[in-house]
């Protein structure tokens, strides 16, 4: 009888290909990639992520935005290739908790803004999933910064959520109304946190252009994403200024646009002296450069206005104020326009140690200096000293 039972028993096939985490837990792994179901349920990193082929991963925001037009003003339909998860995992719950308890406070430098993003914007996320996905993407990037040993897990989550957020955001912004404009504005103002956080410090900055020596990166002008917020503001200003996001405007309301721009003596000397670099150019080019130098002067002065906007908001607002003509000159790598960006890097350096800005001034300056080349040392000496420190060599990035 025992012999008959033995013959009926189906053979048990063991696999030694499970992930490291399931082996440690001594549980059966379904070997699903890039993250097995067990690890996804636990919200823990899965060893499969470290070996999963990059080409098979979910589409990134960069791959979805490879367009010469500003995303907010050019979108007319959703991107069908983006992933649209129908449920949130335990890892996502961890990310949401981390946003409300840690990341929000670490990402914003004024109290009313922290409270807005911790409460109001989170509530938007329950009604508009693109907002929730965006908050989770930012938090996942924050955790790659805080927990580098688990970077692959959190970066995969960040890419997935950011792509989903953008896909869901596109049809909403294409049909902007007084109902959805608050959520769209909250998304657009937080999206640049994600963009800045994804700028890798050991690679050339892609804020303005694809560096000429880097032929493999996606050609995106991230600067246009900053400026996309202007479209929402100009279209829905009346609804926004009295709506649930009004805290973002309160510190700006009393600023006189015709106010003087006082500077520290050192800043004034170098900024106003910079115009000498283009004194022999045609008047049309000089007008563009002088206008945007004035905008850069204001960015410096805004850092010391009390009371006034937060330093982070004041410094980053430069991207919304520079002109389209100037951005075109920078994209063409006109040396005199690149000098203005070099000087703006000093503003970025002054913004402090907010996690998504750490190292970004240095990275942008090195990128611009590589494109600028030699012959401009009389103008670049000061920003190099202010951003990198006195007597510091200017190492080239590894292209």
Q: What is the mean pLDDT of each run of 10 residues along the chain (399 residues)?
A: 54 67 78 72 60 46 49 40 60 96 95 94 96 98 96 94 93 93 94 90 84 49 71 89 89 73 87 96 97 96 79 89 94 96 96 90 94 93 92 54
Residue 251 is predicted with a pLDDT of 74
CA pseudo-torsion sign 178, 179, 180, 181: positive
Rounded to a whole number of angstroms, the CA Rg of the chain reads 24
The set of residues, in sequence order, having a beta carbon less than 8 Å from that of 396 and lying 6+ positions away, is: 366, 370
For the chain, domains (ranges, CATH) are 19-57 (4.10.240), 68-232 (no CATH), 254-388 (no CATH)
Instruction: Name the nearest CA neighbour of 224 among 209, 213, 235.
Output: 209
Token look-up 């996905």 returns 133
Rounded distance between C-alpha atoms, residue 131 and residue 194, angstroms: 12
Residue 377 is predicted with a pLDDT of 94
Helices 90-98, 129-146: inter-axial angle, 10-degree rounding: 80
Instruction: Name the nearest CA neighbour of 254 among 180, 293, 306, 217.
Output: 306
CA pseudo-torsion sign 193, 195, 197, 201: negative
Two tokens, residue 356: 């998504």
Token look-up 């993250």 returns 35
The DSSP output letter for 2 is H
The set of residues, in sequence order, having a beta carbon less than 8 Å from that of 114 and lying 6+ positions away, is: 104, 105, 108
Rounded distance between C-alpha atoms, residue 74 and residue 77, angstroms: 10
């Amino acid at each position: 009888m025992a012999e008959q039972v033995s013959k009926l028993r189906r053979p048990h096939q063991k696999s030694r290909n499970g992930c490291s985490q399931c082996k440690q837990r001594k549980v059966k792994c379904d070997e699903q990639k890039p993250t097995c179901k067990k690890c996804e349920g636990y919200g823990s990193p899965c060893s499969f992520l470290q070996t999963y082929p990059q080409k098979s991963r979910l589409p990134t925001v960069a791959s979805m935005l490879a367009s010469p037009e500003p995303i907010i003003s050019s979108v007319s339909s959703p991107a069908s290739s983006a992933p649209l998860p129908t449920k949130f995992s335990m890892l996502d719950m961890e990310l949401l908790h981390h946003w409300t308890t840690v990341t929000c406070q670490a990402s914003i430098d004024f109290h009313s803004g922290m409270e807005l993003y911790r409460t109001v914007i989170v509530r938007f996320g329950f009604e508009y999933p693109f907002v929730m996905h965006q908050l989770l993407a930012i938090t996942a990037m924050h955790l790659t910064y805080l927990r580098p040993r688990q970077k692959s897990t959190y970066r995969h989550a960040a890419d997935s959520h950011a792509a989903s957020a953008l896909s869901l955001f596109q049809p909403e912004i294409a049909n902007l109304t007084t109902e959805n404009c608050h959520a769209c504005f909250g998304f657009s103002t937080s999206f640049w946190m994600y963009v800045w956080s994804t700028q890798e410090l050991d690679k050339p900055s892609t804020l303005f252009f694809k560096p000429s020596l880097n032929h493999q990166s996606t050609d995106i002008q991230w600067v246009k994403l900053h400026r996309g917020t202007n479209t929402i503001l100009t279209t829905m200003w009346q609804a926004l200024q009295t709506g649930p996001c009004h805290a973002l405007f309160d510190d700006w309301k009393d600023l006189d646009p015709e106010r003087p721009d006082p500077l520290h003596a050192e800043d004034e000397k170098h900024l106003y002296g910079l115009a000498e670099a283009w004194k022999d150019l045609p008047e049309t080019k000089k007008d563009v450069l002088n206008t945007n130098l004035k905008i850069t002067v204001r960015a410096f002065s805004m850092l010391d206005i009390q009371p006034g906007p937060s330093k982070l908001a004041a410094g980053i607002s430069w991207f919304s104020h520079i002109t389209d003509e100037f951005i075109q000159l920078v994209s063409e790598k006109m040396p005199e326009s690149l000098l203005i960006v070099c000087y703006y890097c000093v503003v970025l350096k002054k913004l402090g140690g907010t996690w998504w800005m750490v190292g970004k001034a240095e990275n942008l300056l090195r990128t611009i200096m590589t494109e600028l080349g030699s012959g401009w040392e009389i103008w670049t000496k000061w920003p190099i000293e202010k951003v990198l420190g006195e007597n510091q060599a200017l190492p080239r990035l590894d292209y």
